[in-house]
Structure formats: C-alpha cells, structure tokens
Amino acid sequence: MPTIEIDDKVIEVKAGSTIIEAADSMGIPIPRFCYHKKLSVAANCRMCLVQVEKMGKPLPACATPVTDGMKVFTRSQFAVKAQKSVMEFLLINHPLDCPICDQGGECELQDIAVGYGASGSRYTEEKRVVLNKNIGPLISTDMTRCIQCTRCVRFLKEVGGMMELGMVGRGEHAEITAYVDKSVDSELSGNIIDLCPVGALTSKPFRYSARTWELIRRHSIAPHDGLGSPIEMHVKGNTVMRVLPREDEAINECWISDRDRYSYEALNSADRLTTPMIKDNGVWVETDWQSALEFAATRLNDIARNNPQDIGVLVSPNSTMEEAYLAKKLAQGLGCGNVDHRLRQSDFRLDSKHIGTVWMGCNISDVQSMERVLVIGSNLRNEHPLLTHRLRKAVKAGAELSLLNPIDDDPLMPVAHKTICAPDAMVNALAQILKAMSVMPRYAGHLSPAVSNLIDKVKVQSGPQSSAQAIAESLSGSSASVDLVAPRAAVLLGNIAVHHPRYAEIYSLGEAIAELCGASFGVLSEAANSVGADFAQVLPNADAMNARTMLESPRKGYLLVNVEPELDCHNAHLAAKAMAEAECVVALTVFKSEALRDADVLLPIAPFSETSGTFMNMEGRVQTFSAAVKPLGECRPAWKVLRVLGNVLNIPGFDFDSSEQVSREIFGGEDPSQLASNRLNNHLYDSGVRDAARVNDETPNILQRIGEISLYQADALVRRAAPLQKTKYAVPLAAYMHHAQLAQLGFQAGGAVTVSQGNGSVSLMAQIDDHVPIGCIRIAAALKETAALGDMFGPLEIKAVEIKAA
Amino acid sequence: MLSAESIAKIDRELAKYPANQRRSAVMSSLAIVQDEHGWLSKESISDVAAYLGIPDIAVLEVASFYNMYELKPTGKYKLTVCTNISCMLRDAHGIVEHLEHRLGIHCGETTADGKFTLKEGECMGACGSAPLLLVNNKDMREFLTNEKVDEMLEGLK
Ligand code: SF4
Ligand code: FES
C-alpha cells in the first residue's frame, strides 16, 4: 500500500484512492463542491486544488490518485493561492442574496467562501442571470445560484437510475435543466437538495418557513417501508418543519426516499384528530379522554363477556413494536386471539409452518454485493424506493437481476431475465424455474422426493414468454457474461408476492429454489414494523382469526390501531362492510378519516413524531426513537392509550410507565439484537405447502385485477402528504390494460368503464399500459375511489359504460 | 419521427460501436437528423434519444454544447464565419461586416426571405486558408475577400 504525506502527516492508503479520500480519512479538510463520496468524480469545480511536491501546477485532490511517496500540501502558500483564485471565480456569477436564501446558514459555498475566499470582491461587471425552472412540487430552484458542480445531475443518473437533469449550453451559458418542460420525477429526488452545495435547489414545501439555526434536530426513524431509514426531524416550536437523512452506511448510506422526506407534511394536516370523539346517535361529538376510554372499554367488555372471539384487533404494520405488542396483550387480556397486523396479506396457509420470524434473509448492505438476484412479485421502485438503489449498485457491479412479476414496470436498471405473467400464472412460473434448476446436473437428486413429486409434471416452457431456464441458470451461476461456480445469490419476495392470493406457494417455491442453489432467501417487508410486529407475536392465536377471516366473518367489535380499514386491508369492500355491520368499532387513530365513518369512538393517538417507540426493520435491526415534538392537542402516544385502556378494563400487567418498559417486556430483558438473530428464520416446517394440483395450473381464462399500492398511498401518513400527492409519480387512477387487451374488449382508451368485483363496482377510465400482461387489469388499491372493489388480486368484470342517447 | 433514410444512416453509424454502447452514435445521429431537417427541434432530439435508448436530456446536452448543431430553424443557407484568432488576424471581421451589410442582418439572424442565416463560428481547423466560412456546415469557402463573398452569394440561389 502506498504511503503518502499530507501536510507533514504520514499515512498508508489503499492503492487507487485519491488524495481527497486520504485526507478525509485523516481528518484534514480540503474544500470541495463537486466531489461527493457516493458519486462519480467530475472534477469540474476545481475547489479542491492542492500542492503536490514536484508538480508544477496545483492538482485537484478529488481526481488525483495517490502514488507512493507523494507529498501533498493543502495549506501551503501555493495551494492557498489556487484555492483563493478558484473561490473568486466561483463567486463571480453567484448572487449575493444570502439573506433571502433558504440555504443561508447551511451553505457550503458560504462556509468555504469564509474559510478560503477573499474578504472582498474585485468583480464589478454584470453577473449572469439564469431563468428558474419548475421541476416539480418537491424542489424549488433558483438557478442563478448554481455553480455547475453537477452533483444533482450525477445523483439522478447514478443513484436515481434515470438522468433527469443535465447541463445544457457551454461555458458562460451552461445551465442545469430538465429536458424542455419535464419535471424531476425520481422517487429519490429530494436528495439533490441535500447534495446541492448552494441554494440552487431547496425544498419547496419547506421554503421560507424557517432558518436553519432556529431548528432543533431530533433523531427518528422513517415510518414507511421496511428499510427504516434513520432520519433527523428539524423542529421549530412544536412543529416538525422538515426531515433530513442521518447517515448510516448499513441502512440508508446518506440518502432517504422522498416518501420518508416529505411525509412529515401530513403531521400538521387539517385531518389530524386532536380530541377524542364518540358517535352519539350517528353524530360525532367531542368528548374527554375519561369518557371516551370508559365508553370504549365498556363496549369492548360487553362484547368480550359474551364471547371474546367476537372481537377483532387490527394493528397497522407501521405501528411501533410497543403499540402492536400492547394491542395483542389487551386482546389476550380480553380472552380474544383475533389479532393481526398483516392487513394486506390474503393467504395465510403458511401460518403454522413458519419456524421463526420472517425477514429479508440477509443484511441490507449485502444486497449490493449480490451477484445473482431473483425478485419475485415486487414493483421495486414503488415498494422499496431506496433499497432498489442497492440493487442498482449490484447490477452496476455486474450482478444479474431477474424478475418474476405481474407488471413490467422499469426498475431503472438493466434486467437480465424476466418473466412477466398474470398473477395467477406466477406460481407455475416459479415451479418452472425450480424444475429447470432441479434437472441441472449439479443439482440432480438434491430435491427432496416430496418436492420432486410436486414439480414432476411441470413443463419448463421455452420461448420469448418464459425465462424460467435462463433465470435458473443465472441463479446457479452460469451466464452469458460471467460464469460463477458459487455466486452470491438472493431470492427476494416483494409486496406483491406477500399480497398474492397464493403467497403460500410462492413462498414455498421461492424457498425451495433458494435452498437448491444456495441463495439467501427472504421477504422485503412492506412496512416499517412488519418484522417487529411478527417478532412480537402480534399474530392470531393458533385457532383464531387472521386479518382476512376477521373481515370475512364480521366480528361484533373491532379495535383498530392506526388502521383505515378500506385503505389498509387487502379487500376494501369486505373491510368496509365488516366495519359497517359491527356493533362497536374502537379506533385509535392519528387522523380523522372517511374510512372510519362507521367507528363508534375515535381515540386520537400520536404519530411517530410525537411518541417514543421501536421499529424492527427488514434486516431485523431494532431501532428505538423518542418523540421529536409534543403530541398535538389532546393526542396521546398509542402505547399510553392502550395501557390506560388495559387499566380501565382491569387487565393485569398493564402498569407501564414508559415505552422502554414495554419494549423490555417484549424482549424479556434480553439484548434485542441477540434475540432477533436467534428468532429470525425463514425456513418452514415440512417445507410448507405442497399442493401439487395447483402448481401445474394452466392460467384460467378470466380477467384478473392487479391491485397494487402506489408509493404515495401506502399508509395513512403519506396519503395526506400534499406535496407528494402532487408529484408525477402519483399516477392518476384508471383501469390500465395492455393495448391488445383494450382492443380485444372493444374499449377506447379514455372511455368510461365499469369494473366490478363481487358486489362492488366503480366507474373508471380505461387506459393503455403495455406493462400489464394480457388477461389483467391494473387498478390501484388503497384509494377511496376503488374502495368499493374487493381483492387486490382476483377476478373482476369490466364493461364499457353505455352512453345513453338523450 | 425519424425518416427511414435517417434511420438507415444512423444504423450505419451504430454498427461502428459495440451493441451496448449506442450512445456513442449520438453526435453522428444528430448530424444526420440535422442534415435532413436543417435544424434540431425538440422532437428530433427526443426521437434521437428514443432511438438510441438514452435520456432526452443527455442528447440535449450534446446538441446544445456544439456550435454546429442548430436548435432553432435557420435559413436555407447557414453561413458560419470563423472569427477566431487566425481568421481574425486576416480580417474576418471585415468579412462579417460585409456579409451583414449585404444581407441586412446581424450575426445570429436570418434574412426575412428565410434564405440566409449568418453566424460567427469557432476555429474550423483550417487556419492556413483564413479567412474562411462554412456554408451549411459542410461546404468551406476559403481565402475570402469581399469579392469572393459577393460571388458566393450570387451562386447561392
Ligand atoms: S443545482 Fe446545485 S447541485 Fe446542481 S449543479 Fe448546480 S450547484 Fe450543483
Ligand atoms: S472537488 Fe475536486 S474539482 Fe470539485
């Protein structure tokens, strides 16, 4: 390893690293604008010039690789002169509008100008002006301030996966812009605000609302997807003003998704419920906590006294471990075993088969070093916006990504092999992959007889429609480009797989494939605390009802913890019906909601920003956070509400003084991470479901719905984040289908159609989306407009609306 | 829409590069499309981008960087006079003035009849023949004098 000297300090560094990397590791400051450790090197700002011994001119530290014996001076007269000159150039066209710039106080240009620039300016000519661009509802631009470092351009291209910004023009006329009138639509776009070293890109929703030095920074965990990105909430008074990422190389590196960044906008929305409410003869009246709790307790108790199984408890998978655990404990105290957090799951046949808690099967940071990955049933960017970036990194490093999906949405990275088929055909497609793999010489005889028999009759189809053979070969290591004997491989299930009506087969086959080729296997968990709620056993007792059966056979009473039934459950129609028919619905909720119209009592609880708690993310990492602000109005943390409800109901064991006490009880006083690593296990007892007949199924010839949850509809919080709803990523609702399907059904694009599932029907517009396979109609779920429909995946009927002549 | 002829020409260019490096053909593709339409509209740029499978903005970056790509319609004849150092020393500015006078327009403008566009250009790598100009990017007129310019204008009908 080369040894170099920077400012008289000697260090050994990795061959091939640059001077700036060496200096950063030694804590020697070198000013920079364009360089960013996570992006490619552009070396276009020249701010990082340093003196290198025996070199006649200053060299950019970010683009100069170290050589053995190199001597670098960052503060010599020579270096300082170069830095000062560059600073002067950079400031020539930069406006002096710091007092009205949101970046003021956290601006790299300001800081470096103070540290390395001259105290006055010699420039008296006119400064250039660059017209502003409107690049969407999330990012506000002030392009005159731009110093053309191209960090934003490189981020969107390299991390976002799509080049949405570019530098057009040349020299004095160069400017950063999106193409013509396009906006920046990346689901990771907000990160360019953090990257921009000046005030050219700032947060639109946050604009002009606070100064950075007035903000108090409180740590928290993002409450949406299973990644659990560490975030920093910036608070002024008692209001969360904005959210920024905290850096954790193992989880989010230094990024967060737009969902994690902007969902705070919902925290102060007009929808917040701030006082307990009771329905009195069909009219909502505000009340005090005491009466509300007593009302709730009495009603629940009345039902439980008769038959505790008449109660159903539904818990949001975005609730903290403490909240979920107490809900379960409360149910148990009432003698009721009907508790579940898997609200969007519809197939529970594996319930008694899991050996441990299901998780992603590897560490988040392992994803980028995988060499072969098969993702089953996931619209990646939609479900796991930031984790997708890790996959993108793997693919960039040469990994082969294979997809088995019912929709052909572009994950913005090259896909080596894919099978796109109707949801119903996915099981057979998986069986084909397993079959193709099992007959490879190296795996011959490895399958247990039971599994062999199961896939005995499965035919591996060849042709453009089926990539089973190619996927099997890829996973096992052979490939057109690089053959590997033992590739690092992963088989990962996404939300669509988990919501799939035949999840049991998908899971078992996925596991069998992974086991055969030695891949790691797991589920990319949907919500912030899906794994945590599983871990805390917030699941139905052995003979009790799960999230689906609780709605199929309506209960007399429901306890909802942060759930909007028709938006959060698999079958919206069933959920709404069950709530309407129930005698009593007790809802702990952050928001007033149309979806809670049939509730009888609303107890206002604190969202994640106003409570302490714990999430366990998809890799089983336990992350505890405290409240960033005080609860709004009369809101109380849900764990406290549940505790008091437990007290009112006289259930023993509800004397917690803090959420820490609750989590201590969950972990039995043991070390959470230790316990997690003991319990996380994706294997199945007797290899899961082996339902031979259904593996060989031909695709039935009926229209099926693909009811996917769009990125900004996933949970109650993000649904109310107004800026996110305005983005182009939030695709307008319609019945999307392949153009051939549209023609076959005789519809017109843009024409009105009626879609029915079961007893419910809705009117939508028919639209073309060639990413949808034939035989399927893509109609988003988790929307009030489609709440009359049933299963997210299931048969549907569709007909054109006849236009009656007047 | 790219015309069939343009596509055939672009395919010829693409054949020079590895199949997964289609973006390498961006400059020649833009030149081909510009030859056909005389300039590069936003639609043409998007078409090239779509055909090469790269982002629109990446094509616009290239198209806006180089002088010879026209992002606005030009006259039938685009006259680009080099005004860089060698030509300047051989009185290129005199040529520009003469052209401006003859055509009644300034550099960067197009005559009302849509026939001529006058532009200042950068070094064309033919300093030995200074001063010089290019007609429609391809046709170089060297050792210019006012008389030669007049003669040329006569010839461009
Ligand atoms: S907008 Fe900001 S990040 Fe982008 S190039 Fe300009 S200064 Fe750099
Ligand atoms: S940081 Fe090195 S040139 Fe910009």
Residue ranges per structural domain of chain B:
4-65, 77-156
Assess B19–A contact: CB distance below 8 Å, yes or no.
no
pLDDT reported for residue B48? 97
| Confidence (pLDDT) at A575 | 97
- Round to whole Å and give the CA distance between A127 and A92: 7
The number of beta carbons lying within 10 Å of the beta carbon of residue A54 is: 7
Neighbours of A184 (CB within 10 A): 24
Q: What average pLDDT does range A387-395 have in this prediction?
A: 97
Q: What is the mean pLDDT of residues A207-212?
A: 96
| The predicted structure's pLDDT at residue A688 | 58
Question: At which residue do the structure tokens 């023609």 appear?
Answer: A743
- The residue-averaged pLDDT of A652-659 equals 96
| Averaged pLDDT, A48-67 | 96
What is the maximal distance between C-alpha atoms in chain A? Answer: 91
Answer yes or no: are the C-beta atoms of A437 and A472 closer than 8 Å. Answer: yes
Given a cut of 70, whether residue A536 has pLDDT beyond it is yes
Tokens 């605000």 found at: A193
Predicted confidence at residue A483, as pLDDT, reads 78
Q: Out of B56, B58, B65, name the one closest to residue A170 (CB).
A: B65
Dist CA B92 CA B81 (whole Å): 7
Res A686: pLDDT: 72
**pLDDT exceeds 60 at position A382:** yes
Tell me the shortest Cα–Cα distance from A62 to chain B, in angstroms: 24
What is the rounded distance in angstroms from the CA atom of residue A320 to the CA atom of residue A607? 10
Q: What are the respective helix, strand and coil percentages of chain A, to the nearest 5?
A: 30, 20, 50
Q: Phi, psi (5° rounding) for residue A230?
A: -70, 130
Look up residue A485 and give its DSSP letter.
Answer: S
> Which residues lie closer than 8 Å to A755 by C-beta, 6 or more apart?
A705, A735, A761, A762, A763, A764, A777, A779, A789, A796, A797, A798
Nearest to A405 by CA among A433, A427, A376: A376
- Residue A481 C-beta-side C-alpha neighbours within 13 Å: 9
Query: With an 8 Å Cβ cutoff, are A166 and B42 in contact?
Result: no
pLDDT in tens, B80-117: 999 999 999 999 999 999 999 999 999 999 999 999 99
Q: Which residues contact A678 (CB under 8 A, 6 or more apart)?
A: none
Average pLDDT over chain A, rounded to an integer? 94
C-alpha distance from B46 to closest chain A C-alpha (Å): 9
Is the CB of A165 inside 8 Å of chain B's CB atoms? yes
Cα of A503 to ligand 2 centre, how many Å? 50
In tens, the pLDDT along A562-594 reads: 999 999 999 999 999 999 999 999 999 999 999
The average pLDDT across A475-484 equals 82
Percent of chain A exceeding pLDDT 70 equals 98
Same fold, B4-65 and B77-156: no
Element (H, E) at A221: strand A216-221
> Residue for token digits 């701030």?
A274
Locate A418 and state its tokens.
């894919």
For residue A109 and ligand 1, the question of a CB distance below 6 A is answered with: no
* Residue range A706-729: mean pLDDT, rounded: 94
Spatial distance between the Cα atoms of A218 and A233, rounded to a whole number of angstroms: 5
Taking a C-beta distance cutoff of 8 angstroms, is the pair A615, A529 a contact? yes
Is the pLDDT confidence value at A685 over 70?
yes
> CA–CA separation, B72 vs A174, rounded Å?
18
Q: pLDDT category, A701, cuts 50, 70, 90?
A: confident
Angle, vertex CA A796, rays to CA A795 and CA A801, nearest 5:
170
Asked if residue B49 lies in contact with residue B55, where contact means CB atoms within 8 angstroms, the answer is yes
Q: What is the pLDDT of residue A695?
A: 74
A775: left (phi over 0), alpha (psi -120 to 50) or beta: left
A398 contact B CB<8A: no
- A464 CB neighbour count, 10 Å cutoff: 5
Give the per-residue pLDDT at A452.
85
pTM score: 0.95
Of A505, A507, A439, which is closest to residue A473 (Cα–Cα)? A439
pLDDT at A128: 94
CA distance B30 to chain A (A): 15
Q: What is the pLDDT of residues A327-349, one digit of tens each?
A: 999 999 999 999 999 999 999 99
Say yes or no for a CB contact (<8 Å) between A163 and B42.
no
Distance A107 CA to ligand 2 centre (A): 17
pLDDT tens figures, A407-417: 999 999 999 99
Residues B62 and B56 sit within 8 Å (Cβ to Cβ): no
DSSP state at residue A128:
P
Cα angle A268, A640, A537; round to 5: 105
Three-class DSSP category at A737: strand
Check whether A231 has a pLDDT greater than 90. yes
Task: Take atom 7 of ligand 1 and give the residue whose Cα is closest.
Answer: A146
Say whether pLDDT at A479 is over 80.
Answer: no
Contacts of A162 in chain B (CB under 8 A): 55
The DSSP line for A170-194 is: -GGG-EEEESTT-----TTTTHHHH
Residue type, A673: S
The length of chain B is 157
Position A465 pLDDT exceeds 70: no
Mean pLDDT of A94-107: 95
d(CA A704, CA A110): 57
Q: Which of A19, A38, A46 to mutate to test the pocket of ligand 2 (most atoms within 8 A of CB)?
A: A46
Measured over the CA atoms of residue A316, residue A623, residue A521 and residue A537, the dihedral's sign is: negative
Comparing CA positions, the residue from A226, A149, A137 lying closest to residue A183 is A137
Mean pLDDT over A672-680 rounds to 92
pLDDT band of residue A120 (cuts 50, 70, 90) is confident
Contacts with A180 from chain B: Cβ below 8 Å: 42, 56, 60
For residue A295, pLDDT beyond 70: yes
pLDDT tens for each residue of A729-759: 888 899 999 999 999 999 999 999 999 998 8
CA–CA dist B140, A292 (Å, integer): 89
Backbone torsions φ then ψ of A751, nearest 5 degrees? -80, 155
A327 close to A313: Cβ distance less than 8 angstroms: yes
Residues of B whose CB is below 8 A from A182: 56-57
- d(CA A538, CA A618) in angstroms, rounded, equals 16
Which residues neighbour A294 within 8 Å (Cβ) at sequence distance 6 or greater? A648
From residue A117, alpha-carbon distances to A83, A203, A434 in Å are 8, 27, 64
* A168, closest residue in chain B (CA to CA): B61
Rounded Cα–Cα distance for residues A229 and A617 (Å): 9
| Contact yes or no for A791/A571 (Cβ under 8 A) | yes
**CATH homologous superfamily for the domain B77-156:** Glutaredoxin (3.40.30.10)
Which residues, including other chains, have CB under 8 Å from residue A710's CB and lie 6 or more apart?
A: A382, A729, A730, A731, A780, A782
pLDDT score at A246: 98
Neighbour order of strands in the sheet with A752-757: A793-795, A704-706, A776-778, A735-737, A760-768, A752-757, A797-800
Confidence of residue A699 (pLDDT cuts 50, 70, 90): low
Residue A239 DSSP SS3: strand
Helix, strand, coil percentages for chain B (3-state, nearest 5)? 50, 10, 40
User: How large is the average pLDDT for residues B12-18?
Assistant: 97
Put simply, whether A75 touches B (Cβ < 8 Å) is no
Cis peptide before B131 (omega within 30 of 0): yes
Considering only CA atoms, which of A621, A640, A607, A734 is closest in space to residue A366? A621
pLDDT tens-digit map of A259-269: 999 999 999 99
Phi-psi domain of A601 (left: phi exceeds 0; alpha: psi -120 through 50; beta: other): beta
> Where does A314-354 have alpha helices with state H?
321-334
Q: What is the pLDDT of residue A690?
A: 60
- For residue A692, pLDDT over 60 is answered with no
- Given the CA of residue A143, which atom of ligand 1 is nearest to it? 1
Nearest to A233 by CA among A222, A225, A244, A223: A244
Which contacts qualify for A641-645: CB closer than 8 Å, 24 or more apart? A641/A293, A641/A588, A641/A603, A641/A605, A642/A323, A642/A326, A642/A327, A642/A330, A642/A561, A642/A588, A643/A326, A644/A289, A644/A293, A645/A293, A645/A296, A645/A297, A645/A330
Among A665, A656, A646, residue whose Cα is nearest residue A304: A646
Q: Tell me what the mean pLDDT of segment A241-260 comes to.
A: 97
Stretch A49-57: mean pLDDT, rounded? 95
Q: How far is A161 from chain B (nearest CA, A)?
A: 11
What percent of chain A lies above the pLDDT cut of 90? 89
Which of the following CATH numbers is that of domain B4-65: 1.10.3720.10, 1.10.10.1590, 3.60.150.10, 2.30.30.30? 1.10.10.1590
Nearest Cα to Cα of residue A128 among A143, A107, A111, A113: A143
A740: tokens are 């051939």
Neighbours of A445 (CB within 10 A): 7
Q: What is the DSSP letter of A630?
A: P
Q: Do A169 and B58 touch (CB under 8 A)?
A: no
Ligand 2 atom closest to residue A44's alpha carbon, by position in its atom list: 3
Q: HEC string of A8-50?
A: CEEEECCCCCEHHHHHHHHCCCCCCCCCCCCCCCCCCCCCCEE
Sign of CA dihedral A333, A336, A340, A341: negative
